[in-house]
Structure 1
Amino acid sequence: MTKSAANYIRDNKHILIDSWEKAVNGEISASENTQSLVLRNLLPTLLHDVASIMGRFTDREDFLKNEKCEEIVEKSLDHGRHRAASSQYTVKQIIDEYIILNRILVETLIPQKLFNTDISIIITFCLETSMSHSISSFNDSLQEMREKLVGTLAHDVRNPISAAYFALDVMKLQREEEQFENTRKMAQESLRKSLDLLEGLLDAISVEAGEGIALNFRKSDIVEKVKAVQEEATEIYSNKIKIVCEAEKLITVFDPTAVGRVLENLLTNAVKYGGLDQAITIYVDYNEENVILKVHNHGNPISPKNQKIIFDFLNHSEEQPGKLKSWGMGLTFVKMAAKAHGGHVELSSDHENGTTFFVFLSRHSNKPGKVRSKLNYGE
């Protein structure tokens, strides 16, 4: 009977998947925020593997002694990572997914007279193995998200604190009132920025599945923000940092702290990986739909292979781990911030033209107020 049940599962895989998806959408609220293809991501392979395992054994004792369901482990780990990046998913809801699948299989096989104790044991063992690895991956991915968010914030908070410390240190050497006041304002602004980043750090500690950074949108001049970042970076780095911008003002709704951090991260990387003492250029372009911020540097380009994965949030590549990790921490935030602004990021890098990061920010999709951004796996 086990071989007949295995063949039935293979032949009716799409019907089983449709039934499962319908039940999940009706019983698990978080599935409403998950695209159909992502929701189904594990099922075809899992059902195929269950059928294959079922077809290999006719004796229960032989199955329990020899079977480890190794073929379902990798896809189950991937399933957990997807769920960690899906809004509002919890461990309980992952368990519910598997309970529903077990129920669908049982309710489908019984009318066909293809269900007995041996088949029940095989199905349960396979699903429990898959569920265990999926939950483990889900928890590991959530922890990785928190560590990356906290890591990028902790890294970024050092810059304004260092700038404030520098300003306070040189104030005692300044005699002219105007110069003293400018330095005082610089220190005050740097400490204000530090407080904003620390607030974000606290938010990141409590991040849940599918969530990214917290942003505080308000109507402001993005050109003014770019100039402020450029002026501060000029004080820190030896490279010449220039701005190319035709507009005197660009008033739009955005998060000034987040956009400032985006530029700071890109400038830091441009200095670190670009040509020594070569100019770095910030371009501010715009059209009806977007503001486009571009940061260009000369120097060694990013390889085509690394360009494909450099923005991946849960990047597990081992190629040049030190360098990719350093890039990835900042670019993790850059990508999330762009998406949270209704935009996206692009990259162009070659020997002839150098490296340019493009950050597209929507001019019309954002509203004033505090929001938590969404994290989309593999996009």
Structure 2
Amino acid sequence: MTLASDQNTDARGLSPLSLRMLELREPVFAEWMKKVSSSVKGAGSLPHPILINTLPTLYDNIAEALTPDYPRTGAASVTPSAAMEHGGERARLTNYEVTAVICEYQILRTTIFEVLEQHGVALGTHEVRIISTAIDGAVRESATAFSLAQAAFREQFVATLAHDLRSPLAAATASAQVIPYLRDFDKLEKVAGKIVENLGRIDKMIQDLLDTAVFQGGQRMSLHPSCFDIAELAGDVCEQAATVFGPRFELTGPSVHGWWDRDAIKRALENLISNAVKYGAPDTPVRISYQTYHERLLLSVHNRGDPIPPDQVESIFQVFRRATAARQGEKQGWGIGLPFVRSVAESHGGSIDVDSDQERGTTFAIDIPLDCRPFQNAPVLS
């Protein structure tokens, strides 16, 4: 029985070339995985079943197509389902760009020809054309499915955004509507405070959305560096967080003056603290610390709780994507907080690091130069 999509249980109808190609499936994919893991960004960290994906089915479909009278001729009968599923899974389960998906197929084509040649399997012009045409078709189908899945992620994001905006907007509207009927100044002040608070939530959501549009397009954040003390800023952020989440924040570090964008660093730190509270173990301390080394600032936020699986670390920095545990849990979010933090770090000429383990806890660290001004034109990741 083959792995082909028709699940053919009788190989007697296949040609010797098709049978030989089926016999060489494992050597082909052993070599393919080796090449892809070393040359396609993100492939090396994928678990084996995720990396191999639906490609063996595609491979066996191609093998069947090499039999002259077998009812599987032309790319249309070889690639659609397996290739579309491959593209969809790559969008959902990896951090690939569409170019990585295309590269995988290019490597598969080369590997097939190389392994067949190494094992003395001669291919005629017609057979070469069948294999190449099938893989070209798979590239088109996979790229289309990948793009559709990415579009779906964006639509989900927009739907979540619309839903999240309605809540504070409705609260602000309701508060505004009762103002004409209030005569008690204390009650009026309280209602006005609710309006300001909810409008602030809306403003932050819109600002996050604008920032997302910038760094998703590979553009740099527009920084406005000024010289300030990180100790003062971190103290203010922790004090504000304590009023919302309670006195669970531990701040350590000396006075450190540097040239950074105050608002961007503040919002990045707020995101990391919010993330630590959201996903950390309840009623455990959240530690914020900062230190300098070799003219750099290391600003970190640590929490206890379930660790981030190693194969999902990179996905949490992708726009609209979160780690599996977060997506499957009850925590709500847009999946743009950590990508924003990465954008802030990179725009300052630095980077962000994460260390996560059951015993060590989870630590996110912004590592940037003390003076970001010379590095504002450095490229950032899209």
**Which TM bucket (shorter chain)?**
0.5 to 0.7
Closer, same or farther in 2 for the Cα pair 1:315/1:230, shift >3 Å?
Answer: closer
The equivalent of 1:251 in structure 2 is: 258
Paired residue for 2:147? 138
In the alignment, the residues of structure 2 paired with residue 272 and residue 45 of structure 1 have an alpha-carbon distance, to the nearest angstrom, of: 33
Where does residue 362 of structure 1 map in the other structure? 368
Partner of 1:217: helix, strand, or coil? Answer: coil
Q: TM-score, normalised by structure 1?
A: 0.56
In angstroms, what is the RMSD of aligned CA positions? 5.9
Alignment partner of 1:63 out of 63, 72, 75? 72
What amino acid sits opposite 1:303 in the alignment? D
Shift of 1:321: 0.8
* CA deviation after TM superposition for structure 1 residue 62, in Å: 1.2
Q: Secondary structure at the match of 1:62?
A: coil
1:309 corresponding residue in structure 2:
312
Summarize the Cα distance change of 1:59–1:281 in structure 2 as closer, same or farther, 3 Å threshold: same
- State the shift of 1:200 in Å: 4.6
SS in 2 for 1:236: helix
Q: Which residue, 124, 129, 137 being the options, matches 1:114? A: 124
Identical-pair percentage? 20
Choose the corresponding residue for 1:3, options 17, 27, 51: 17
Residues 81-109 of structure 1 show CA distances to partners (whole Å, capped at 9, x for unaligned) of 799855xx79xx9889989999xx99xx9
2:293 to 287, 309, 326: 287
* SS of residue paired to 1:3: helix
Secondary structure of the 1:265 match is helix
Tell me how far apart the structure 1 counterparts of residues 268 and 333 of structure 2 sit (CA, whole Å): 15
The change in CA–CA distance for 1:279 and 1:243 in structure 2 (over 3 A counts) is same
Distance change in 2, residues 1:150/1:307 (3 Å): farther
Say whether 1:204 aligns with 2:212: yes
Query: Over residues 129-166 of structure 1, what are the superposed CA-to-partner deviations in whole Å (9 max), with x where a residue is unaligned?
Result: 3421222213422552686599699979x99xx9xxx9
What is the one-letter code of the residue matched to 1:302? G
- Give 2:224's aligned residue: 218
Per the TM alignment, residue 251 of structure 1 is displaced from its structure 2 partner at its CA by 0.8
1:1-379 matches, within 5 Å, as: 3=17, 36-38=39-41, 52-56=60-64, 57-59=66-68, 62-64=71-73, 67=78, 72=83, 75-77=86-88, 86=97, 114-116=124-126, 120-121=129-130, 123-141=132-150, 143-144=152-153, 198-202=206-210, 204-205=212-213, 211=217, 215-220=221-226, 221=228, 222-247=230-255, 249-253=256-260, 255-274=261-280, 279-297=285-303, 301-304=304-307, 306=309, 309=312, 312-313=315-316, 314-315=321-322, 317=324, 321-323=328-330, 330-341=337-348, 342-350=350-358, 355-363=361-369, 366-367=372-373, 373-375=380-382
- Any unmatched runs of 5+ in structure 2? 1-14, 33-37, 45-50, 180-184, 187-192
Q: Deviations over 1:19-51 (max 9, x none)?
A: xxxxxxxxxxxxxxxx9534999x999998776
| CA offset digits 1:35-89 (Å, max 9, x no partner) | 9534999x99999877654433412551149755765555444666799855xx7
SS in 2 for 1:357: strand
1:180 maps to none
What amino acid is the match of 1:312? S
Cα deviation, residue 363, structure 1: 0.4
CA contact (8 A) 2:78 2:134 kept: no
Residues 205, 230 of structure 1: CA spacing in aligned structure 2 closer, same or farther, 3 A cutoff?
same
Contact map agreement 1:240 1:279 (CA 8 A) in 2: yes
CA separation of 1:48/1:123 partners in 2, compared to 1, >3 Å: closer, same or farther? Answer: farther
Per-residue deviation, 1:285: 1.6
Contact 1:196 1:257 in 2 (8 A): no
Bigger drift between 236-245 and 63-72 goes to 63-72
C-alpha distance 212-142 of structure 1, shift in aligned 2 (>3 A): farther
CA contact (8 A) 2:214 2:220 kept: no
Residue 207 to residue 345, structure 1, CA distance change in 2 (3 Å): closer
Structure 1 unaligned residues grouped into runs of 5+: 18-34, 174-183
What does the per-residue CA deviation read over 1:103-128, in whole Å, with 9 as the maximum and x for residues that have no partner? xx99xx9xx98223x76455424432
CA distance 1:322–1:233, change in 2 (3 Å): same
- 1:83/1:252 CA distance change after superposition, 3 Å: same
Q: Distance in 1 between matches of 2:302 and 2:86?
A: 39
CA-to-partner distance for each residue in 1:219-252, whole Å, 9 max, x for gaps?
A: 23233332332232233332243422212x3213
SS in 1 for 2:72: helix
SS at match of 2:149: helix
For 1:40 and 1:294, how far apart are their aligned partners in 2? Answer: 28
Once residues 48 and 339 of structure 1 are traced to their aligned partners in structure 2, the CA distance between those partners, rounded to angstroms, is: 39
How much does 1:265 deviate? 2.5
User: Partner residue of 1:27?
Assistant: none
- Residue identity opposite 2:328 in structure 1: P
* CA distance in 2: counterparts of 1:68 and 1:37, whole angstroms: 22
Q: Give the Cα separation in 2 of the matches to 1:39 and 1:271.
A: 29
Distance 1:121 1:319 in 2: 44
Aligned pair count? 319
Q: d(CA) in 2 for partners of 1:336 and 1:194? A: 21
